[in-house]
Amino acid sequence: MNREIVLDTETTGLSPQQGDRLVEIGCVELINHIPSGKNYHIYINPQRSMPEEAFRVHGLSEEFLSDKPLFAAIAGEFRDFIGDATLVIHNAPFDMGFLNAELEKAGQGRLTNTVIDTVMLARQKHPGARVSLDALCKHYGIDNSRRTLHGALLDSEILAEVYLELLGGKQVSLALIAESTVSGADGIAAQAIAARRPIALPSRISAAEREAHAALVAAMGADAIWAQYETELTTVQQKNPGR
């Protein structure tokens, strides 16, 4: 199992060495590059003023953050969540610099996790192109319309989609299915069940489209891979009624 944590932070400024502090951490867990549904999100009281420039970026005011926990109080739960997973971060030196500075202030050791910097990954894949998160969303057709302000958890969710595209997009998902320990249509069906979200997204398929698809699959014959897939998916669902 390959566990990764897509991570983003918001801060009071650009430099922990100049007294800037963390104000928000957002994390999204990936298992084999697929979001597991487990997230970590926390706002943090920076114990200092909020510069207007930073407020314009993330919209987090001194008043809003005044009753939030100090970093030292949440450092343990944060480290427990990320564990030894690989960290996937856009412009990793920035976020890692702040996280390690906060950990040192809290009397804890620096992070030793493997880190993947998606800025570097994007520059390798798209030499000379803009590699901001917004630019990559535009390039890959990822909806980032909710991103009117920077937010650590939302940016992590968007980055998780961008990261998959940087790795090869849908081809990666298909490769992961092929690597399943269960082969054939049963393995594909089991993978579909395992990757299901904790809360299902509303279906975008109409009843008429569903019926048309069923008719098409039926016309292919019983030996068609789609017919085998649907049979095995039904079997797996019956074996896992709670999934």
pLDDT(167) > 70: yes
Phi, psi of 88 (to 5 degrees): -110, 115
pLDDT(134) > 70: yes
Rounded to an integer, what distance in angstroms lies between the CA atom of residue 238 and that of residue 87? 36
Report which of 96, 115, 164 is spatially closest to residue 136, judged by C-alpha positions: 164
Band of residue 147 on the pLDDT scale cut at 50, 70, 90: confident
The reply to whether 150 belongs to the active site is yes
Class of domain 3-169: alpha beta
Q: Which residues are annotated as a binding site?
A: 8, 10, 53, 58, 155
**Residue range(s) of every CATH 3.30.420.10 domain in the chain:** 3-169
Band of residue 169 on the pLDDT scale cut at 50, 70, 90: confident
Q: What is the mean pLDDT of residues 166-188?
A: 58
Residue of 126, 139, 150, 213 marked active site: 150
Band of residue 45 on the pLDDT scale cut at 50, 70, 90: very high
Give first-to-last CA distance, the chain, whole Å: 20
Band of residue 182 on the pLDDT scale cut at 50, 70, 90: very low
Mean pLDDT of the chain: 85
Rounded to an integer, what distance in angstroms lies between the CA atom of residue 194 and that of residue 117? 28
Q: Strand, coil or helix: what is 162?
A: helix
Rounded to an integer, what distance in angstroms lies between the CA atom of residue 203 and that of residue 98? 40
What's the pLDDT score for residue 32? 95
Q: Which residues are annotated as a binding site for substrate?
A: 8, 10, 53, 58, 155
pLDDT(226) > 80: no
Rounded to an integer, what distance in angstroms lies between the CA atom of residue 90 and that of residue 162? 10
The pLDDT tens digits for 205-221 are: 777 877 877 777 777 77
Rounded to an integer, what distance in angstroms lies between the CA atom of residue 184 and that of residue 80? 37
Query: Rounded to the nearest 10 degrees, what angle do helices 152-167 and 133-140 cross at?
Result: 50
Rounded to an integer, what distance in angstroms lies between the CA atom of residue 27 and that of residue 12? 19
Least confident of 78-87, 144-153, 160-169, 174-183: 174-183
Report which of 127, 104, 125, 105 is spatially closest to residue 116, judged by C-alpha positions: 125
Band of residue 181 on the pLDDT scale cut at 50, 70, 90: very low
Q: What are the beta bridge partners of residue 115? A: 87
Band of residue 109 on the pLDDT scale cut at 50, 70, 90: very high
Number of Cβ atoms within 10 Å of the Cβ of 15: 13
Instruction: Output the pTM of the full model.
Output: 0.72
- Between 71 and 209, where is the model more confident? 71
Q: What is the mean pLDDT of residues 157-178?
A: 79
Q: Which residues are annotated as a binding site for a divalent metal cation?
A: 8, 10, 155
